[in-house]
Amino acid sequence: MRYEVKAIRGGEGVTALVLDAVDAADAAGQAKAQGYAVIAVHAKQAWAGWRKTRNTRFPLVLFSQELLALLEAGLALVDAIETLSEKETNPEIRNTLAQICASLSEGHPLSVALQQSRANFPPLYVAMIRASEKTGAMAEALSRYIAYQTQMDGVRQQVVGASIYPALLAVVGGLVTLFLMMYVVPRFSHVYADIGRNLPLMSLLLMKSGLFLEANGTKLLAGLVVILGMLAHAASRPAFKQWLDRKLWQLPSVGARLHLYQLSRFYRSLGMLLRGGMPVVPALQMVSDLLRSSLRGSLALATTRIREGHTISQAMEQYNLTTPVALRMLRVGERTGRMGEMMERIAAFYEEETARWVVRFTKLFEPLLMVFIGLVIGGIVMLMYFPIFELAGSIQ
């Protein structure tokens, strides 16, 4: 991101510098390195036409894949990150990698270097790297994170992909209905008014609705735009998201699936940390943020029970953080000592079950939505043409 720094150096007077930096502190540091005394720092707004330049999101999965490839090729950690920094063309990402290289050169471990850029590296990723530094298996930890993120992205993409067609179908159906009501129906209304025949009640109501929409179409469309804008603004507010989350969890079927999805993400993250060598209690504390607030309290109580010496399966069962199938797999993991692997298998089981539910739901919902849209549009058309059918019958 570009920052404008007001600074002074020697007898040059006040100078305005424009620097590419990760944040304001980085911009101030760059100016101080050039011998300036910093007066003020603020972000510089860059506009291309009417579009505001957005911050670049750090490609964490791509970074992990490239770093893994370089480490497996035999490069040292500092050399590998320097190589990634040199080939990077985006200034924000290049500055982030340069900061990591500088921290490594000062003797800090990679986890500390990553923690200094918390906006780009989540706590779960830093914890995984810290655990791998203790075991010396950083390449294996990176492989596990890549697989973890790929699995989570796959579930998310499957849900999004399954919702695209119903959303498009609903939008197209709504536009067709709007076109009929605001353009076609009013013209039929004028024709029937000229004929002067009495219309059936439902057809009469439809024609009056069409005339009302024709007369107030501009105001109604403006009101609709305002309402959609307000909804979009509300959707970006944390309070609205929390309210919507509560309502979704209250739905019997949807709430159960959301619970399974939360557990799958929880167990996959926990399994990844355990396989990386992290003790179970710190790992549980690390992944607690992945759960919703109501489940975090249960996890805190379960963590306390585990710290007191109870088994993981007992604590998870007591506080409703497992299912019968997962409980059996946890007990197997406790007997065999492969708890991390078993937790990842539990996550895979939950993810497959969620994927099957999404497929079944979309296969049922799409035909129902098509039938509903067909009935609405067909009903409008039939009510428009019904007086014509009556007129033709009376002529015969």
Domain boundaries along the sequence of the chain: 2-52, 60-121, 147-396
Average pLDDT over residues 101-105: 87
Residue 389 has pLDDT above 80, yes or no: no
What six digits make up the tokens of 242?
């929390």
Residue 87 has pLDDT above 70, yes or no: yes
Residue 83 has pLDDT above 50, yes or no: yes
**What is the CA 204 to chain-centroid distance, rounded?**
47
Asked whether the beta carbons of 104 and 113 are under 8 A apart, the reply is: yes
pLDDT in tens, 261-288: 888 888 888 888 888 778 888 888 878 8
Average pLDDT over residues 136-155: 79
Query: How far, CA to CA in Å, does 299 sit from each of 249, 254, 259, 260, 334?
Result: 18, 22, 14, 15, 19
Count of all residues that appear for the chain in the document? 396
Whether pTM exceeds 0.85:
no
Using 50, 70 and 90 to split pLDDT, how confident is the model at 12? low
Asked whether the beta carbons of 101 and 88 are under 8 A apart, the reply is: no
Mean residue pLDDT of the chain comes to 79
The pLDDT, as a whole number, for residue 288 is: 80
The pLDDT, as a whole number, for residue 51 is: 41
Asked whether the beta carbons of 162 and 169 are under 8 A apart, the reply is: no
The pLDDT, as a whole number, for residue 11 is: 58
What six digits make up the tokens of 14?
């006040």
Asked whether the beta carbons of 36 and 7 are under 8 A apart, the reply is: yes
Residue 309 has pLDDT above 80, yes or no: yes
Top mean pLDDT of 19-28, 324-333, 354-363 is at: 324-333
Torsion angles phi and psi, residue 237, rounded to 5: -90, 140
Residue 230 has pLDDT above 60, yes or no: yes
* Higher-pLDDT residue of 68, 238: 68
Q: What is the Cα–Cα distance from 303 to 316, expressed in whole angstroms?
A: 9
**What is the CA 107 to chain-centroid distance, rounded?**
36
Q: What is the Cα–Cα distance from 97 to 92, expressed in whole angstroms?
A: 9
Superfamily of domain 147-396: Type II secretion system (T2SS), domain F (1.20.81.30)
Average pLDDT over residues 341-348: 86
Work out the angle between the directed axes of helices 138-179 and 123-135 (0-180°, nearest 10): 160
Asked whether the beta carbons of 343 and 267 are under 8 A apart, the reply is: yes
Average pLDDT over residues 359-386: 84
The pLDDT, as a whole number, for residue 54 is: 47
pLDDT in tens, 164-193: 888 888 888 888 888 888 888 888 777 777
Q: What is the DSSP letter of 88?
A: -
The pLDDT, as a whole number, for residue 47 is: 46
Q: What is the Cα–Cα distance from 349 to 343, expressed in whole angstroms?
A: 10
Top mean pLDDT of 31-35, 143-147, 298-302 is at: 298-302
Average pLDDT over residues 107-122: 83
pLDDT in tens, 20-55: 666 677 777 777 777 777 767 777 654 444 344 445
Q: What is the Cα–Cα distance from 385 to 396, expressed in whole angstroms?
A: 17
Q: State the distance between the two ends of the chain, measured CA to CA, in whole angstroms.
A: 77
Average pLDDT over residues 10-22: 67
pLDDT > 90: percent of the chain: 0
Query: How far, CA to CA in Å, does 165 sit from each of 4, 161, 176, 357?
Result: 45, 8, 16, 17
pLDDT in tens, 311-329: 888 888 888 888 888 889 8
Using 50, 70 and 90 to split pLDDT, how confident is the model at 13? low
Q: What is the Cα–Cα distance from 109 to 129, expressed in whole angstroms?
A: 9
